Amino acid sequence: MVKSEIQQVKLRFGIIGNNEALARGIDIAMQVAPTDLSVLITGESGVGKESFPQIIHQYSRRKHGQYIAVNCGAIPEGTIDSELFGHEKGAFTGAISERKGYFGEANGGTIFLDEVGELPMPTQARLLRVLESGEFIKVGSSKVEKTDVRIVAATNVNLTQAIAEGRFREDLYYRLNTVPIQIPPLRERGEDVVLLFRKFASDFAEKYHMPPLQLTEDARQMLVAYSWPGNVRQLKNITEQISIIESNREINASILKNYLPESNVQRLPALLGNKENKEFGSEREILYQVLFDMRQDVTELKKLVHEIMAERAASNVGAANLSSYYPQNSPLVTSTTGESNVPTIIHPAVQPAASLSSAGDDDIQDTEEYVEESLALDDVEKDMIRKALEKHHGKRKSAAQDLNISERTLYRKIKEYGLD
């Protein structure tokens, strides 16, 4: 398509910019418009995807039919089927009359499904049937109805990843993605940012009856260099803010900076920042997390033993009976401190956080050893819970109080260790 035709489309639909990828998207929309092929428009939120379905509709043979735009992410899951396909009277609570639904209303026209990646799985199956055969069934009905609609969909979701995670049907993706159109983000459009700023500044100057904004050279450079995570929508909002707030109509970089959120924020976790140590760092962090969790478990067990010892001492039972809870071959090592005879539990897999963080690579032991010791710890905990339950004749509330843990934790542990 020649540039003059693309420029006419831009003027008609209010599209600003000279970016080649943007022009390519308009060209594809014009080429596919006379057909009935499904189109999937992808791009980040705020890039202006909503203009392209209108281009496709207005340049198609369906331009005199209905054009309906539906934001799939804004409709509750419980009513989305009714909104799209209609329902019969009495189909559910509140269905006081029959509803035609968007696919019935748009018969002979075009329906734009914005944020199609947010559709629930049952609705995706219904949509697939419409794409394959043009058939649908109203909610609460058994009658198959026909519709002749052109479907254009858009999403800012990575549908390939959504398919891998089981959130989107693969067959529906290929049906929708017959013709893909990718809209570039604003940060990749170069000087288009300045053109858009001028357009928005002019519109707001007319709206609020004030002189338009003017950019200095350093402000222009700052606009182009900024990452624009919110894309065109963010640029429009910032332009409106400046138009209303600033009395000085010449905007330099220092003024503009006050309206731009930090652009150089590191979005990846700090762990992944160093590519050279990425794999080793990840494994090391996972190992540390396991060790910290084990340390917390042992600390809780240690506290529990101290309380039991204090209880037994108060009732003159004697600390020697604690051996019934810990056999001689237990992997837990008991020792006495200089201040009291209360045993201190030492576990070889547990180190203080400070020593872990400063440990060298050679200090990291085989994870298999930690697994074995953790299992031994579980055996001790299981034995203690079993003895407490026997002591209180199966009364879980009393056993939980004796063990100094909540009933919920005790129920979870009983289920985990199969002590029902």
Residue 55, domain member (yes or no): yes
Q: What percent of the chain has pLDDT over 90?
A: 58
Give the pLDDT score at 384: 85
Instruction: State whether 250 and 357 are in the same domain.
Output: no
- Tell whether 292 and 393 lie within a shared domain: yes
Same domain? 291 vs 383: yes
Shared domain for 73 and 110, answered yes or no, is yes
Q: Show the tokens assigned to 331.
A: 């992997």
Q: Are residues 167 and 195 in the same domain?
A: no
Task: Give residue 49's pLDDT.
Answer: 96
In a domain, 262, yes or no: no
Closest CA to 26 of 200, 48, 194, 46: 48
Count Cβ atoms below 10 Å from residue 155 Cβ, excluding itself: 25
Residue 266 covered by a domain:
no
Please indicate, yes or no, whether residues 289 and 230 belong to a single structural domain of this protein. Answer: no
Domain for residue 271, yes or no?
A: no
Question: How many other CB atoms are there within 10 angstroms of residue 380's CB atom?
Answer: 18
Given a contact cutoff of 8 angstroms between Cβ atoms, the answer to whether 384 and 410 are in contact is no
Query: So what's the pLDDT on residue 78?
Result: 87
Mean pLDDT over all residues of the chain? 81
Tokens of 218: 């350093």
The answer on pLDDT for 272 being more than 90 is no
Q: pLDDT confidence of 365, banded at 50, 70, 90?
A: very low
pLDDT: is 323 or 378 the higher one?
378
Last residue of one domain, picked from the residues 138, 156, 184 = 184
Paired sense of beta strands 343-346 and 333-336, if any: antiparallel
Which of 159, 184, 209 is at the close of a domain? 184
Please count the structural domains in the chain. Answer: 3
Where in the sequence is the domain holding 241, given as residue range(s)?
Answer: 190-257
Same domain, 177 and 229: no
The set of residues, in sequence order, having a beta carbon less than 8 Å from that of 44 and lying 6+ positions away, is: 156, 185, 231
Query: pTM higher than 0.95, yes or no?
Result: no
Averaged pLDDT for residues 166-189: 96
Which among 13, 105, 26 is positioned nearest to 68, based on CA atoms? 105
240, 204 in Cβ contact below 8 A? yes
Could you tell me if residue 267 is inside a domain? no
Residue 29 CB neighbour total at 10 angstroms? 26
pLDDT at 370 over 60: no
d(Cα 200, Cα 324) in Å, to the nearest integer?
79
Task: Give the pLDDT confidence of 124-174 residue by residue, as tens digits.
Answer: 999 999 999 999 999 999 999 999 999 999 999 999 999 999 999 999 999
Helix (H, G, I), strand (E, B) or coil at 393: coil
**16 shares its domain with 156:** yes
> Does residue 269 lie within any of the structural domains?
no
pLDDT above 90 (res 256): yes
Which of 184, 213, 236 is the endpoint of a domain?
A: 184
Region of residue 139 (phi > 0: left; psi between -120 and 50: alpha; otherwise: beta): beta
Considering the domain boundaries, does residue 263 fall inside one? no
Residues 128 and 197 both lie in one domain: no
Residue 245 and residue 307 in one domain? no
CATH number, residue 17: 3.40.50.300
Task: Name the least confident of 231-240, 290-299, 327-336.
Answer: 327-336
Is the predicted pLDDT of residue 369 greater than 60, yes or no?
no
Residues 115, 18, single domain; the answer is yes
pLDDT-based confidence at residue 334 (cuts at 50, 70, 90): very low
> Using 50, 70 and 90 to split pLDDT, how confident is the model at 25?
very high
User: Are 88 and 102 in a shared domain?
Assistant: yes
Cα–Cα distances in angstroms (integers) from residue 286 to residues 127, 268, 353, 359, 361, in the given order: 42, 17, 14, 15, 14
Residue 265 lies in a domain: no
Tens-place pLDDT, residues 229-250: 999 999 999 999 999 999 999 9
